[in-house]
Every structure is written in structure tokens, then in C-alpha cells.
Amino acid sequence: MLKKFERMPFDNEVYYFKESPEELIAIRDNESIGYVYNPRIRNAILDGLSPSLPKKEKERIGNRIQSFLRKYQCKNEHNHRYGQEYDDD
């Protein structure tokens, strides 16, 4: 997580992805796309619900975030330590 913003109408956590496509993605309340900045889509910050953000891109971004966060989910709540990565082995 790059930054957590708590003084907005909704809490947002911002993630920076360096690998292609390079972009910033803000997740709102740990469940929805809040904001996206990807100059290949548009040279502006877009709201996750913006009609300027095509459905295909919304799906791609959602899948990207899910794949990223899945690495940090726990298999068993009792063995979970926040932010600890686990292997699927």
C-alpha cells in the first residue's frame, strides 16, 4: 500500500503498480475501485465509477487488485498475521 487516506468521504488505500500497465489504484473501503490513474487510459485521475473508465478496464483493474490482495489473505483466520504473504503450496 502506498498511502491510506482516511479523511475523505470513504477510506481509500492507494496502490502503485510499476509493472505494465503502470498505474495508481485507490481501493475504497477495501472493496471497490475508488480512483484510477493510468495515463494510457486518460491523463487524469478517474473515479472508479466514471463513464470515462471503460467496462473492460474496470474488470481488468478489479482482477488486478484481487490477484494482488489474494497474496495477503489468510487461509485460516487463526493463523493470520496482517500483511504476511503466504504460498498456495
Amino acid 2 reads L
Which residues have a Cβ under 8 Å from the Cβ of 57 and sit 6 or more positions away? 36, 38, 41
**Which residue blocks in 11-73 are alpha helix, DSSP H?**
55-70
- Per-residue pLDDT tens over the stretch 7-25: 556 678 889 999 999 999 9
Neighbouring-strand partners of residue 72: none
Query: Alpha-carbon dihedral of residues 23, 24, 25, 28, nearest 10 degrees?
Result: -170
What is the rounded CA–CA span in Å between residue 70 and residue 47? Answer: 23
- Per-residue pLDDT tens over the stretch 29-55: 777 888 999 999 898 889 888 898 999
For the full predicted model, state whether its pTM sits above 0.75: no
